[in-house]
Amino acid sequence: MADLSMFRGDDKTWNLTFTDSNGTAINLTSATIFLTVKKNTSDADTSAVISKTVTAHTNPTGGISALTVTHTDSAIAIGNYYYDIQLVDSAGSVTTITNGSFTIKRDITVRTS
């Protein structure tokens, strides 16, 4: 992954496949995935504008999971933020999988009915 973007107030799911350097699927059984989005990289995690924790995976032994940001999560100020995704495996090892910019784009339609 690289930079991510979505419209303010939308739901969006990113499907993720985790593999090691040999291309072998990483077993996600008992693993946790964290998405943290912040205005500034130096902000404390408690100041994150979006914080997601995933413990139920689409296909754990195949290294496949999904990360969903809901319309409630994305109802934040339009602008550019920073994010990273971390994987904590069943042994407690922490690996930052990717990071970059996270853009919340202006939505035009705000009604839902």
d(CA 92, CA 27): 13
Instruction: Note whether residue 23 is domain-resident.
Output: yes
- Report DSSP state, residue 55: -
Neighbours of 83 (CB within 10 A): 21
CATH number at 89 reads 2.60.40.1930
d(CA 19, CA 87): 12
* Domain boundaries, position 22: 4-105
The whole-number pLDDT of residue 112 equals 75
Confidence bin at 109 (pLDDT 50/70/90):
confident
Q: Residue length, the chain?
A: 113
> What does pTM read for this prediction?
0.90
- pLDDT tens by residue, 47-104: 999 999 999 999 999 999 999 999 999 999 999 999 999 999 999 999 999 999 999 9
Instruction: Note whether residue 98 is domain-resident.
Output: yes
Task: Give the chain's domain count.
Answer: 1
Instruction: Note whether residue 112 is domain-resident.
Output: no
Instruction: Note whether residue 111 is domain-resident.
Output: no
- pLDDT tens by residue, 8-50: 999 999 999 999 999 999 999 999 999 999 999 999 999 999 9
Instruction: Note whether residue 110 is domain-resident.
Output: no
The whole-number pLDDT of residue 1 equals 57
Residue 29 to residues 11, 68, 104, Cα–Cα distance (Å): 26, 19, 32
Contact between 73 and 54 (Cβ < 8 Å): no
